Structure 1
Amino acid sequence: MSQIGNEIARRDNGPEAIVRQHKDDLTLVLPSHVKGETWMRLAYGALRSNKNLLQAASRNPGSLMNALQECARLGHEPGTEAFYLVPFGNEVQGIEGYRGVVERIYRAGAVKAVKAEVVHQNDHFEYSPDMDRPIHKPDYFSDRGPIVGAYAYGVFQDGSTSKVVVINRDYIDKVRKESKGSNSPTSPWVKWEDQMVLKTVAKRLEPWVPSSTEWRKEQLRAAAEVAAENTSPAATYQAPPQPDLDDEGPIEGELVD
Structure 2
Amino acid sequence: MATAWNCCRCPPGPRPEETKEPPSMSDQYQPVGQQLAPRQQPSPMQNLQGLIRQMAPEMQKALPKHMTGERMARIATTVLRQTPKLAECTPESFLGALLTAAQLGLEPGPLGEAYLVPYGRTVTFIPGYRGLIKLAWQSGQLQDIHAQVVYENDEFDYRLGLHRDLVHVPARGDRGKAVYVYAAAVMKDGGTAFEVMSVGEVEAIRARSRSGNNGPWKTDWSAMARKTAVKQLAKWLPSSVELRTAVALDETARDGTDRSLPSVVDVSAGPELDLTPETPAIDAASEDVEAAVDVPAEPKPQAAAPAAKKATKVQIAKVEAIAAEQKFDAAFMPEALANWTQRDGATLDDLTSDEANQIISIFTTTEGK
TM-score by length of 2: 0.50
| Residues in 2 aligned to 1:128 and 1:37: alpha-carbon distance in whole angstroms | 49
* Aligned residue number for residue 230 of structure 2: 202
2:168 matched residue in structure 1: 136
Q: Which amino acid aligns with 1:112?
A: Q
CA–CA separation in structure 1 for the residues paired with 2:240 and 2:67: 14
Q: In the alignment, which of 132, 151, 160 is matched to residue 120 of structure 1?
A: 151
* Long gaps (5+) in structure 2: 1-35, 244-263, 265-369
The 1:139–1:131 alpha-carbon spacing in structure 2 relative to 1, beyond 3 Å, is farther
1:66 corresponds to:
96
Superimposed CA distance per residue, residues 200-223 of structure 1 (whole angstroms, 9 cap, x where no aligned partner) = 0011111222332679xx9xxxxx
Aligned to 2:47: 14
Q: Which residue of 2 aligns with 1:245?
A: none
- Per-residue CA shift, 1:164-213, capped at 9, x if unaligned? 111123321221012113123xx211111111100000111112223326
Offset of residue 2 of structure 1: 6.6
Change in 2 beyond 3 A, CA 1:42/1:97: same
Query: Residue 71 of structure 1: CA displacement?
Result: 0.8
2:141 and 2:232 map into 1 onto residues whose CA distance is 17
CA distance in 1, matches of 2:168, 2:95: 42
4+ residue runs over 4 A deviation: none
CA contact (8 A) 1:155 1:161 kept: yes
2:83 aligns to what? 50
How many residues are treated as equivalent by the alignment? 207
Residues 1:170 and 2:203 aligned together: no
Tell me what 2:123 maps to. Answer: 92
SS in 2 for 1:113: strand
Measure the CA separation in 2 of the matches of 1:20 and 1:176. Answer: 34
**Structure with bigger gyration radius:** 2
Distance (Å, rounded) in 2 between the aligned partners of 1:86 and 1:123: 33
2:361 counterpart residue number: none
TM-score where L is the length of structure 1: 0.70
Q: Counterpart amino acid of 2:56?
A: K
Identity %: 31
The separation in 2 between residues aligned to 1:107 and 1:207, in whole angstroms, is: 16
SS state at 1:153 partner: strand
What's the RMSD between the two structures over aligned residues?
2.8
Check 1:205–1:65 CA distance in 2 against 1; reply closer, same or farther (3 A cut).
same
Distance 1:121 1:108 in 2: 34
Cα distance in 2 for partners of 1:127, 1:85 equals 35
SS in 2 for 1:127: strand
Alpha-carbon distance change, 83 to 12 in structure 1, aligned in 2, over 3 angstroms: closer
Q: Aligned AA for 2:63? A: L
Equivalences for residues 143-162 of structure 1 within 5 A: 143-145=175-177, 147-158=178-189, 160-162=190-192
CA change 1:119–1:2 in 2 (3 A) is: farther
CA distance in 1, matches of 2:211, 2:107: 22
SS of equivalent residue, structure 1 residue 155: strand
The aligned residue for residue 107 of structure 1 is 138
SS at 2:168 equivalent: strand
Quote the Cα distance in structure 2 between the aligned partners of 1:6 and 1:202: 48
Alignment partners' CA distance in 2, 1:214 and 1:191: 26
Cα distance change on mapping 1:180 and 1:30 into 2, 3 Å: same
Q: Helix, strand or coil: the match of 2:181?
A: strand
Cα distance, 1:150 vs structure 2: 1.1
Residue of structure 1 in register with 2:240 after alignment: 212
Q: Separation in 1 of the partners of 2:129 and 2:227?
A: 4
The one-letter amino acid of 2:217's match is W
Q: Counterpart amino acid of 1:38? A: R
- In structure 1, list runs of 5 or more residues that go unmatched: 219-257
Contact 1:105 1:211 in 2 (8 A): yes
Aligned residues of 1:56 and 1:88 also touching (Cα < 8 A): no
> Is this contact kept in 2: 1:71–1:94, CA < 8 A?
yes
Instruction: Name the structure where helix makes up a greater proportion of residues.
Output: 1
Counterpart of 1:112 in 2: which secondary structure?
A: strand
**Equivalence for 1:78:** 108
What is the deviation of 1:109? 1.9
